[in-house]
A = this chain, B = another copy of it.
Amino acid sequence: MELWYTEKQTDNVGITCKVNRTLHTETSPFQRIDVLETKQFGRMLLLDGLVMTTEKDEFVYHEMIAQVPLNTHPDPQRVLVIGGGDGGSLREVTRHPKVRQATLCEIDARVIEVCQEYFPAIANALRGNPKAEILVADGIAHIQERPHYYDVILIDSTDPIGAAEGLFTLDFYRQVYKSLKEDGIMAAQTESPFYDLNLVRKIYKNIEQVFPVTKLYLASIPTYPSGLWSFTLGSKRYDPEQVKEADIPDMPMQYYTAQIHKAAFNLPKFIDDALKTL
């Protein structure tokens, strides 16, 4: 018998993966959580049936959401990850040499616990890391408690439906702005330009209303819809495209390089055009 899992990425297209077995399934107070063992991508985490991360391609998303803003900031000492209960973004933050405090604020404790059990290489900073502060709390409430506090905030959320809807609003980005220091930077995962260009533009326009420097960047993630994923960086002062290669620390990477840092901001014409449209 062959078992295949199909995620409908839109109403009309999906990715289908051969599954060895289901390792875990539960419904937490916030969402359904599944861990599958796939042939192509190794272990796969799904929330409400959507692929969040896999062992084989997680490096792209986590390096790119974290290292681009971290290396845009000259001294990212205090960093917050909102969401990201799998720990991958936190791992990237804690291994950055300049970071002193890495706070994770995840609303669903069960995501953290499940990932600690099934994804040790992704979740390794979630336990026993001296730089890490792990909070099970609402990210929107948390940033209101820490005004003018963080150098970098990463918004590592699920899609803008259900629990994460509030993490894509204009009001939320204003709160993020207030929780950042005077030269702070945020970066957020902001969906697929091929399948949902209007949504990408809408989020970008929200962030652009709040941050003087707003730039979209891209990475290739096979298990995410269309394989091309966008991130939006909002910055109070520093321009991510002006970073000097010599200032980027030499760390082991699988996707990110100093050249990729810059190349990722060069957008295909149809995306660039969409962002320029009012």
A: which residues have CB within 8 A of B? 6, 10-18, 38-41, 57, 59-60, 194-195, 218, 220-222, 226-228, 253-257, 259-260, 262-264, 266-270, 272
Least CB distance from A43 to B in Å reads 14
Least CB distance from A193 to B in Å reads 9
In the complex, chain B residues whose CB is within 8 Å of the CB of A38: 12-13
Closest to A19 in B: B12
Closest to A6 in B: B16
Considering the chains assembled together, what is the distance between the CA atoms of A16 and B262 in angstroms?
A: 33
In the complex, chain B residues whose CB is within 8 Å of the CB of A57: 194
Number of copies of this protein chain within its complex: 2
A-B pairs with beta carbons under 8 Å apart, 18 shown: A11-B39, A12-B18, A14-B16, A60-B268, A194-B220, A218-B220, A220-B228, A220-B268, A222-B227, A227-B228, A254-B270, A255-B269, A255-B270, A256-B268, A257-B268, A259-B267, A262-B263, A263-B264
Asked if A40 contacts B228 (CB within 8 A), the reply is no
Considering the chains assembled together, what is the distance between the CA atoms of A15 and B220 in angstroms?
A: 16
Considering the chains assembled together, what is the distance between the CA atoms of A259 and B38 in angstroms?
A: 37
Considering the chains assembled together, what is the distance between the CA atoms of A6 and B59 in angstroms?
A: 27
In the complex, chain B residues whose CB is within 8 Å of the CB of A218: 220
Other A-B pairs beyond A220-B226, A256-B269, 13, CB < 8 Å: A6-B16, A12-B17, A12-B38, A14-B17, A194-B220, A218-B220, A220-B228, A227-B228, A254-B270, A255-B269, A262-B263, A263-B263, A263-B264
Asked if B269 contacts A10 (CB within 8 A), the reply is no
Given A18-B11, A194-B222, A257 and B228 contact (CB-CB distance below 8 Å): no
In the complex, chain B residues whose CB is within 8 Å of the CB of A259: 266-267
Asked if B12 contacts A40 (CB within 8 A), the reply is yes
Considering the chains assembled together, what is the distance between the CA atoms of A41 and B226 in angstroms?
A: 11
Closest to A255 in B: B268
Considering the chains assembled together, what is the distance between the CA atoms of A40 and B225 in angstroms?
A: 12
